[in-house]
């Protein structure tokens, strides 16, 4: 197989025709008769477009005639719920998808076009994978809180129930609540805090949570959310801070699983046996956390959810050290600007955690970060790099 990546100037000579699938019923209508309208009723979705993509008379044949007229070499098929639809049940390995794609493939050939579709895009193929596998994706949402002198803690968070992107609504299932206790030590007058990774303690057994069922709602763009409160009491000597981690199961591939690659190949083989040949694979919105409500995943400046699975942790541990098998606790170093429990902190104060204590802070006038730090492992941290790298690990400081 020869794979060619078309981008830049190559795209100027690459003419294609697009077919967007916006509703599950479209697949059945194509199977019944490619001359049937793609939609029973006009779909506008959440795009805000004044003109709908397809009216109630547009059929697959109309799309292919249009492609032939403009000299398109390829028909590209993709799910795109941005323009309509409210649910998704069919994925690349579903019978209706296979049967409909075979019809589309054959009709496209009749009009002089090759066939391509978004069958190996992670969010397309993940739904089918999740139905037959237990090692699916996990997304971890985290929030820092304060541990009182008596060991009690309480953290309020957004409870995520549904994310939405071009590939359709994605249900999230809360599968676990983890809490890690630690002690943070401010480094001089900087916004950086030292946390000893060997003293991060798992106190999840002490955690309880309450979901406010009355607060759960789904927005117009498909984002589902509510309120959740996590609370508990641990030993008073384990630290002065806690990190609450909400673990959600998602209909997504575990990209580091040994079975993921084999599953993807099996889907392509299934299409080949059906008589569907591909001239390309379309992809967009490659990962689940990039949905239409990015503000829900962002703190003031940065995503506060992370994709983590056991296979990812094991792979990381093999490369960088056995300690990373307990990967969730290291999310402490990703908690950025989360001192909202400290009302005296001004909005511009942006605390970050680091795993090694620098020898001393040095100030340089005119620098946006106002500091250059000399790390204990040697080497200087430039101001521009501190916020992004240091909170992951100071032990790998560049020389």
- pLDDT for 132-158, tens place per residue? 888 888 899 999 999 999 999 999 999
- Whether 379 and 399 map to the same domain: the answer is yes
Please answer whether residues 90 and 96 qualify as being in contact, where contact means their C-beta atoms are separated by less than 8 angstroms. Answer: yes
Q: How far is CA 391 from the centre of its chain?
A: 21
- Whether 159 and 235 map to the same domain: the answer is yes
Residue 246 lies in a domain: yes
Tell me the pairing of strands 192-195 and 352-354.
Answer: parallel
Q: Give the number of other CB atoms < 10 A from CB of residue 173.
A: 12
Residue 12 lies in a domain: yes
- Whether 45 and 157 map to the same domain: the answer is no
Is pLDDT of 374 > 50?
no
Q: Specify the DSSP class assigned to residue 80.
A: -
- Whether 23 and 86 map to the same domain: the answer is yes
Q: What is the pLDDT of residues 206-244, one digit of tens each?
A: 999 999 999 999 887 778 899 999 999 999 899 999 999
Residue whose structure tokens are 């983890």:
178
- Whether 87 and 235 map to the same domain: the answer is no
The whole-number pLDDT of residue 227 equals: 95
- Whether 317 and 238 map to the same domain: the answer is yes
- Whether 176 and 237 map to the same domain: the answer is yes
Residue 89 lies in a domain: yes
- Whether 160 and 302 map to the same domain: the answer is yes
Confidence of residue 105 (pLDDT cuts 50, 70, 90): very high
Task: Indicate the residue among 303, 324, 344 that finishes a domain.
Answer: 344
- Expressed as residue numbers, the domain containing 39 is 8-117
- Whether 240 and 142 map to the same domain: the answer is yes
What's the mean pLDDT when you consider all of the chain? Answer: 80
- Whether 398 and 339 map to the same domain: the answer is no
- Whether 14 and 70 map to the same domain: the answer is yes
Helix (H) or strand (E) holding 180: strand 173-182
Q: What is the mean pLDDT of residues 47-76?
A: 85
Task: Indicate the residue among 61, 85, 117 that finishes a domain.
Answer: 117
Q: What angle do CA 373, 376, 382 make, to 5 degrees?
A: 25
**In DSSP terms, which residues pair with 308 in a beta bridge?**
none
Q: How many domains does the chain have?
A: 3
Residue 279 lies in a domain: no
Residue 350 lies in a domain: no
Residue 3 lies in a domain: no
Residue 126 lies in a domain: no
Residue that wins the pLDDT comparison between 294 and 373: 294
Residue that wins the pLDDT comparison between 224 and 190: 224
- Backbone phi, psi, residue 73, to 5°: -90, -15
Residue 2 lies in a domain: no
Task: Indicate the residue among 117, 149, 169 that finishes a domain.
Answer: 117
Least confident of 15-24, 44-53, 89-98, 193-202: 44-53
Residue 216: Cβ-neighbour burial (10 angstroms; 0-12, 13-18, 19+): middle
Is pLDDT of 252 > 90?
no
Is pLDDT of 35 > 80?
yes
Residue that wins the pLDDT comparison between 81 and 74: 74
Is pLDDT of 258 > 80?
yes
Which positions ≥6 away from 50 have C-beta within 8 Å?
none
CA dihedral 90, 128, 20, 286 (to 10 degrees): 160
- Whether 206 and 67 map to the same domain: the answer is no
The whole-number pLDDT of residue 179 equals: 98
Confidence of residue 385 (pLDDT cuts 50, 70, 90): very low
Q: Read off the pTM.
A: 0.79
Residue whose structure tokens are 């008596």:
150
The whole-number pLDDT of residue 170 equals: 84
């Amino acid at each position: 197989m020869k794979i060619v990546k078309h981008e830049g100037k190559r795209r100027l000579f690459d003419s294609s025709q697009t077919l967007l699938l916006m509703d599950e019923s479209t697949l059945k209508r194509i199977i019944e008769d490619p001359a049937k309208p793609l939609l029973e009723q006009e779909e506008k979705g959440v795009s805000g477009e004044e003109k709908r993509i397809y009216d109630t008379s547009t059929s697959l044949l109309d799309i292919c005639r249009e492609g032939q007229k403009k000299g398109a070499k390829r028909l590209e098929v993709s799910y795109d719920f941005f323009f309509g639809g409210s649910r998704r049940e069919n994925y690349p390995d579903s019978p209706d998808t296979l049967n409909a794609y075979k019809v589309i493939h054959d009709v496209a050939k009749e009009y002089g076009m090759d066939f391509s579709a978004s069958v190996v895009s992670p969010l397309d193929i993940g739904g089918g994978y999740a139905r037959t596998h237990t090692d699916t994706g996990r997304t971890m949402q985290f929030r820092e809180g304060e541990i009182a002198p008596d060991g009690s803690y309480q953290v309020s968070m957004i409870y995520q129930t549904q994310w939405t992107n071009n590939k359709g609504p994605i249900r999230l299932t809360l599968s676990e609540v983890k809490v890690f206790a630690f002690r943070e030590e401010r480094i001089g007058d900087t916004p950086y805090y030292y946390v000893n990774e060997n003293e991060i303690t798992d106190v999840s057994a002490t955690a309880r949570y309450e979901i406010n069922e009355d607060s759960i709602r789904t927005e117009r763009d498909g984002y589902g959310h509510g309120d959740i409160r996590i609370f508990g009491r641990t030993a008073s000597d384990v630290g002065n801070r806690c990190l609450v981690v909400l673990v959600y199961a998602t209909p997504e591939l575990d990209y580091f699983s040994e079975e993921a690659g084999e599953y993807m190949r099996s889907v392509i083989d299934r299409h080949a046996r059906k008589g569907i040949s591909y001239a390309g694979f379309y992809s967009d919105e490659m990962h689940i956390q990039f949905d239409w409500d990015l503000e829900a995943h962002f703190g003031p400046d940065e995503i506060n959810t992370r994709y983590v699975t056991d296979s990812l942790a094991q792979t990381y541990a093999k490369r960088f050290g056995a300690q990373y098998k307990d990967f969730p606790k290291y999310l402490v170093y990703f908690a950025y600007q989360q001192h909202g429990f400290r009302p005296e902190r001004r909005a511009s104060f942006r605390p970050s955690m680091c795993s090694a204590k620098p020898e001393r802070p040095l100030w340089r006038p005119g620098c946006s970060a106002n500091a250059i730090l000399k790390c204990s492992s040697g080497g200087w941290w430039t101001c521009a790099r501190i916020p992004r790298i240091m909170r992951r690990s100071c032990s790998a400081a560049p020389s």
